[in-house]
Every structure is written in structure tokens, then in C-alpha cells.
Amino acid sequence: MPGTSAIDPLSAEDIAKFERLLADHLAGRVDEEAFRVFRLNNGIYGQRQGGHNQMVRVKLPYGSITPEQLERLADVAEGYSRGWGHLTTRQNIQFHFVDLERVPALLRDLAEVGLTTREACGDTVRNVMGCHLAGACPFEVLDISPWAEATFRHFLHHPIAQRLPRKFKINFSGCVTDCGQAMFNDVGVVAVSRPRPDGTLERGFRVFLAGGLGANPHPAQALEELTTREELLPTIEAVLRTFDHYGNRDNKLRARLKWLVDAIGMDELRRRVLKERNLLLASSTWPGGIPAAVAELGDEPAGVGTGEMAPTALGVPVTLRADRRDGRPLADPYERWCSANVVVGVAKGTVSAIAYARLGDLTAPQMRALASIVSDLGVDLRVTNRQNLAFRGLTGSQLPELHARLQEIGMAEPGAELARDVVSCPGADTCNLAVTQSRGLADAIGQALEQAGLADVGGVRINISGCTNSCGQHHVADIGFHGAERRAHGRPAPGYQMLLGGHVGQTQVEFGQRALRLPAKSAAEAAVRVVGRFAEEREHGERFATWLERCGGAKSVGAELADLDHWPDPEEHPEYYFDFGETGPYVAEVGRGECAAG
């Protein structure tokens, strides 16, 4: 797993090549387009600000991160960026405003602690994701951590994975709850079991193909009933090779694997993948059998839990989610935090806790404090796909200390991963494609929920993207927003499309349906109204999607908010024509999106 004191030879070669080609590019010997594709394949992404401002994306496979790496990331934040890093919905960490000429030195600093940016951007196999509670989840069939690690190792520098038709994303979940969100990725892997003739259970995986979000979301579809542990990596490689052979290399807008399903149908895609897998044994890259990482680390599950941990075990009731309906308010901050942020696997007594990273941001001092906490408590840390951090391997007696230390650094808010925890892409702060300041809206919604006393409401998730491309994963949120330019009184203005009812789980995905369009400055009020109505009307344990269906669906709930789709006179209310954090009138400036680089 990640973490080393020396630079491995492949990383050293990558960095030396980057340094050499950067010098050639600055001297005019390598043209802009060729260098752009090269730097993207190395995780270096241009920013809206242009010039030599770069975003550097660091891979954290399945969210795993060590104290040594956190210390080094703090050094990077202070030494190369602006003192903070941003956790992404794909378990990466990004640094902005890095000067292009300083990238090679930054890459060396990362490589010394086993971190890489290689293939974090571009038309490559991106960061391999996994459920942040893998190995600690009370429901998992297998611990997918070593499988995600093996997949990361196999495809990093893989000869087929360098110049694909388009980016390729892989996610792992340890059970059908699907916290890893397998159902909207090019390959989504879910651990499952099936009965053998002798009555025992065979544990393996169900592999789903060709999912994706973006402006046109597609659900992933199953390849076969069960893929054995020995065949999992060959199956993923077979999918990748099929995509490389048949993906659209002429039109980037139709190049993802999901579009191949539209072109040839799922039955034909399935046939081609299985044929490729059957013949893969002849390839020098055949990865069959149990991978070394799995043999070394083991993939036994944490153990199945069937109920709530006894109150005497931890001092407070600990549940799997914050959804208290007994009418008793939790006034004590520690008790609220335990109720909302702690997860217990009863069978093996595993205890995990979520630390809240507001807007997905971590300052350098917070990174160093987190490194100290992990070292002192002797626990494990993972980045979640909701831009937070999960402490794993805790004991009940460690929870008070963890809570106190998280309070000291502003990361002990209860309800991380729930209502107050609004997820956002970077938006127009730095992204060329964004048309709105999505981070500003996320902050406004969070504050509005706090003021309304709704921030602790469980069972509802809010996600925001600054454009239709769904980097903020608005399609799979209970309440989703994506940025859109509007015109009112003859002037451009920042607006949002609100979607309701998206969710992923139980090896199914439902994409949010359009509710209404509204001004950016009215979106927070819309979120508060919907969360408030849900909290008031839901039945005990009722999911948001079920409540929404009872209420007549997204259009019906949206109709109740129609008064918010109002644009006042710009002279009387100029704030409607300024985006969050902007000092001048709104202008939708869209540049070339490097996530679609050729």
C-alpha cells in the first residue's frame, strides 16, 4: 500500500521525462497540443486563470492516505500552492495555482512518500475508487481494499491505459449498499456471493459496465451473474481493451464507454468483452489468479452486524446513520457527533468515524493535525467520495479524544455526509467549463440550513456542479443543482437547474429529475424548503426518494417552489446579477475544457 521513503524507478523516470519535455516545450521544441496531452496524462491540469497556473491532481487510490503522506501534502500546500488542498468526489486531492515550472520539484516531493499524479487526468485509467469503510463495514461481503490496490497497481503505466479514446473510471464496493458508487462508472465492481451446490457460499464480484454521469447520464449494466476472484482483473482488463478497440476516437463528446452501448447495444458489448477475456491468457499483461496485494493483505470482511451497539460500549448510542425520530434532541456536541458520524461493525467491534471537511477543503495545519491524530491513535484514514475523511480501526474509548482533537481544527461537525455536508465541484473559481460559482452556492446552502435548524437532518444529500458535466455528481443526489446561464431583463445572470430524487445503492442508480430552474441567489432557499418539508413529512426511516414519490415527484415538489424562479429588477436588486463571491456583473466565460483533451 502507499508510503515509502524512496522514489520508485518508474516514478523517477516519469518525473525526469516531465522535466525534459517541459524544458523543450518552454523552448518551443514541443508544440502546445502535444505537451498539453502529455501533462494531462501526468495529472497536471490547466486552470481558468490561464498562463502557467496549474491544478495538480494527486491520486489517493480507494482514498487511502498515511500520516507521512499527509505531512508531505501539507508541505506541498504551503510550498507550491495557496496553503490548502481540495478533496474530490473521486478520492483525489488537488492543489491549485501551482506554477508550471515548479511541477517537477513537486512531483519529486510527492514520489518520496509514494504518491503519484500519473494518469490522474487525461484519457487514462483514473484513480481507482473504493468504499471508504471497506474492511470496517458491517455489511461487506469482501474487503475490497486489496482488490482496489491490485487494480491500481496493475493499470498504472499499463500500455493499453495511456491513450484511450476517453477517460476510464473504476469503482469498488464491498456490498450491494454500494457506498463506492459502482453504478455510474465505466467499470463498477460490487462484492457479492451465491450459493454453491453443497450449500456453502461462493464469494466473488458482480461487474457492471458502461455507466457514467456528465450531461447525459447512463446507468451501468451487469456483465454476468458472478465474476470469480481469479477472473476479476482479467475481466477489467478485457473491458479496457474492448473500449480501446471500439471506442469513438473521432468525437470526444461521444467517446466514453457509455456511448459504445448506445452504438452497438449491451448484448454486443458483453459478447465482445467476454471474448476478449477468453483470449487474454495469450497476452503478456494477463493478470489472472489472486493478485499479490490480495494474497498479502487478505480480503476477509469485517463481519456482519445486525443492530445498534449497546450504549454502555461507547458511552452513547451509536447508529449507522443520523436519523433520530424519538423526539429527544441531542444537545451535547459529543453525543450529536457520535450519533451522526460514528459507524459500528458489531460482529468484530470495528469502530469508524467521519471527520467533516467543509467544502472538501483541507488547510496545511489541518493536514498536519490529522497526521498527528492518525499516528497517535494508531488508526487508518480514508478520503470519502463526499469529500470528507473516515477514521477507521478506532476503539470506543478513543472517540472522546478524537472528537476533541477534531473540534480543535474545525472538523468535528456532526452530520458529515448528510444534510449539512453539501458537495460541490470547484466551479468557476478555477474550472474552464463551469458557468457558476458552485462552491459559493454550497457555502450559502450550508449556512441557510444551519440558520433554519436543518443541518442535522439525516437521509438527504445535496450536490452541486458548476455546469452540466456533473463533476459534483448532482445527478445522484437527493437534491442536485447544476449551473446554467440565464437571461433576465436583457442581462445575463447566474442560475441553476434543480434536480430531485437521485440516488445510488442496492446495485441500482436513479438519476435526479428536473424540478425547476431558478436564480443562483434563490437556490439556497429552495434547498431549505425541500429539506424542511422532507423532515416534517417523512415517515419513520423513510428515504428521500420514497417521500418524493409520495409527494408526486420532482415536478410536483418543484411547482411548490415556483415563486423562487423570479428575477427582480437589476437596479433594485443587483445581487441577483452577481455570482457568489464576484465583485462585478455576471459573465459566463467558458474556455476549453481540458478534461476532454485529445
Residues 217-265 have pLDDT tens digits of 999 999 999 999 999 999 999 999 999 999 999 999 999 999 999 999 9
pLDDT interval class at 124 (50, 70, 90): very high
Whole-angstrom Cα distance, residue 295 to residue 178? Answer: 24
Whole-angstrom Cα distance, residue 476 to residue 188? Answer: 15
User: What is the pLDDT, as a whole number, of residue 310?
Assistant: 31
Structural domain boundaries in the chain: 9-111, 139-297, 311-408, 423-596
pTM for the complete prediction? 0.92
Residues 435-455 have pLDDT tens digits of 999 999 999 999 999 999 998
Whole-angstrom Cα distance, residue 388 to residue 373? Answer: 15
Q: Read off the pLDDT of each residue in 318-335 and give the average, rounded to a whole number.
A: 55
> Which long-range contacts link 4-8 to residues 24+ away (Cβ below 8 Å)?
4/112, 4/113, 4/114, 5/112, 5/113, 6/112, 7/108, 7/111, 7/112, 8/111, 8/114
User: What is the pLDDT, as a whole number, of residue 4?
Assistant: 44
* Domain 9-111 CATH assignment equals 3.90.480.20: yes
User: What is the pLDDT, as a whole number, of residue 589?
Assistant: 74
Say if residue 3's pLDDT is above 60.
no
Return the bridge partners of 55, or none. Answer: 45
With 0-12 / 13-18 / 19 or more C-beta atoms within 10 angstroms meaning exposed / middle / buried, residue 589 is exposed
Distances (CA, A) of 120 to 12, 295, 328, 471, 541: 17, 27, 46, 14, 39
Q: Which CATH number, 3.40.1830.10, 3.90.480.20, 3.40.50.11600, 3.40.366.10, labels domain 311-408?
A: 3.90.480.20
Q: Read off the pLDDT of each residue in 586-593 and give the average, rounded to a whole number.
A: 71
- Number of Cα atoms under 13 Å in the Cβ half of residue 246: 21
User: What is the pLDDT, as a whole number, of residue 125?
Assistant: 98
Cβ atoms 421, 400 nearer than 8 A? no
Q: Read off the pLDDT of each residue in 331-356 and give the average, rounded to a whole number.
A: 84
Higher pLDDT, 34 or 597: 34
Using left for φ > 0, alpha for ψ between -120 and 50, and beta otherwise, residue 43 falls in left
pLDDT interval class at 314 (50, 70, 90): very low
Whole-angstrom Cα distance, residue 163 to residue 247? Answer: 11
Q: Which CATH architecture has domain 139-297?
A: 2-Layer Sandwich (3.30)
* Domain 423-596 CATH assignment equals 3.30.413.10: yes
Q: Three cell numbers at 173? A: 464496493
Whole-angstrom Cα distance, residue 423 to residue 386? Answer: 6
Containing H/E element for 127? Answer: none
User: What is the pLDDT, as a whole number, of residue 326?
Assistant: 43
Say if residue 276's pLDDT is above 50.
yes
pLDDT interval class at 5 (50, 70, 90): low
Whole-angstrom Cα distance, residue 389 to residue 399? Answer: 15
Say if residue 33's pLDDT is above 50.
yes
Say if residue 25's pLDDT is above 80.
yes
Percent of the chain residues topping a pLDDT of 90: 82
Q: Three cell numbers at 152? A: 491500481
Residues 457-515 have pLDDT tens digits of 888 999 999 999 999 999 999 999 999 999 999 999 999 999 999 999 889 999 999 99
Q: Is the dihedral of CA 155, 68, 182, 470 positive or negative?
A: negative
| Nearest by Cα to 255 from 224, 223, 214 | 214
Compute φ and ψ for 500, nearest 5 degrees: -135, 145
Say if residue 305's pLDDT is above 70.
no
Q: Look at strands 92-99 and 380-383 and give their pairing.
A: unpaired
Query: For residue 584, how far is the Cα from the chain centroid?
Result: 32
Query: Which amino acid makes up residue 547?
Result: W
Q: Read off the pLDDT of each residue in 100-105 and give the average, rounded to a whole number.
A: 98
Distances (CA, A) of 504 to 131, 200, 475, 477, 500: 13, 30, 10, 8, 13
Cβ atoms 161, 169 nearer than 8 A? no
| Nearest by Cα to 476 from 521, 512, 441 | 512
User: What is the pLDDT, as a whole number, of residue 586?
Assistant: 87
Same fold, 9-111 and 139-297: no
Whole-angstrom Cα distance, residue 521 to residue 576? Answer: 6
CA-angle at 213, arms to 448 and 208, nearest 5°:
125
Q: What mean pLDDT value characterizes the chain? A: 91
Cβ atoms 104, 22 nearer than 8 A? yes
Say if residue 1's pLDDT is above 50.
no
Q: Three cell numbers at 400? A: 472522546
Whole-angstrom Cα distance, residue 452 to residue 439? Answer: 20
pLDDT interval class at 598 (50, 70, 90): very low
Cβ atoms 335, 403 nearer than 8 A? no
pLDDT interval class at 173 (50, 70, 90): very high
Q: Is the dihedral of CA 228, 231, 237, 241 positive or negative?
A: negative
Cβ atoms 544, 527 nearer than 8 A? no
Residues 559-581 have pLDDT tens digits of 999 999 999 999 999 999 999 99
| Nearest by Cα to 517 from 493, 545, 553 | 493
Cβ atoms 316, 339 nearer than 8 A? yes
Cβ atoms 548, 498 nearer than 8 A? no
Higher pLDDT, 591 or 73: 73
pLDDT interval class at 594 (50, 70, 90): low
Residues 513-559 have pLDDT tens digits of 999 999 999 999 999 999 999 999 999 989 999 999 999 999 999 99
User: What is the pLDDT, as a whole number, of residue 350?
Assistant: 79
pLDDT interval class at 406 (50, 70, 90): very high
Residues 177-209 have pLDDT tens digits of 999 999 999 999 999 999 999 999 999 999 999
User: What is the pLDDT, as a whole number, of residue 344?
Assistant: 83
User: What is the pLDDT, as a whole number, of residue 328?
Assistant: 46
User: What is the pLDDT, as a whole number, of residue 50?
Assistant: 74
Mention every residue, 6+ apart, whose C-beta is less than 8 A from residue 23.
Answer: none
Mention every residue, 6+ apart, whose C-beta is less than 8 A from residue 235.
Answer: 207, 223, 227, 273, 277
Compute φ and ψ for 206, nearest 5 degrees: -110, 125
